[in-house]
Amino acid sequence: MSVDMRVGTVVEVLPFPEARKPAYKVRVDLGPELGHKWSSAQLTVHYQPEDLVGRQVLCVVSLGTRQIGPFLSEVLITGADAEGGVVVFTTERPVPNGSRLY
């Protein structure tokens, strides 16, 4: 299985109190080909919702949909473990939504 990673812009962040581990429901605009997709993201340690909206993030889009409690997570927002929480991977400068990671 090949991994398809794309850049998208966070357009909405909602609380996800039903998640077993603290997380947000994050809607990402992945461009005209993929549209808007939702992700369950454990980003609560380093980010408030307003810190994420408008930020470009790198997403794995080829994993399929995952049921996270009552929520369907469609993409995985990538990041690294840092100081007890996840820090999102982002771009060095703006790129079009849907751009592939090579």
Angle at 10 between CA 20 and CA 75, to 5 degrees: 55
Domains and CATH numbers, the chain: 5-88 (2.40.50.140)
Q: How far apart are CA 61 and CA 77, in angstroms?
A: 9
User: How confident is the model at residue 2, as a pLDDT?
Assistant: 87
SS3 state of residue 23: coil
Residue by residue, pLDDT tens for the chain (102 residues) are 689 999 999 999 999 999 999 999 999 999 999 999 999 999 999 999 999 999 999 999 999 999 998 999 999 999 999 988 999 999 999 999 999 998
Residue 33: phi, psi to the nearest 5? -70, -40
pTM over 0.85: yes
User: How confident is the model at residue 93, as a pLDDT?
Assistant: 96
Q: How far apart are CA 19 and CA 68, in angstroms?
A: 7
Q: How far apart are CA 54 and CA 11, in angstroms?
A: 6
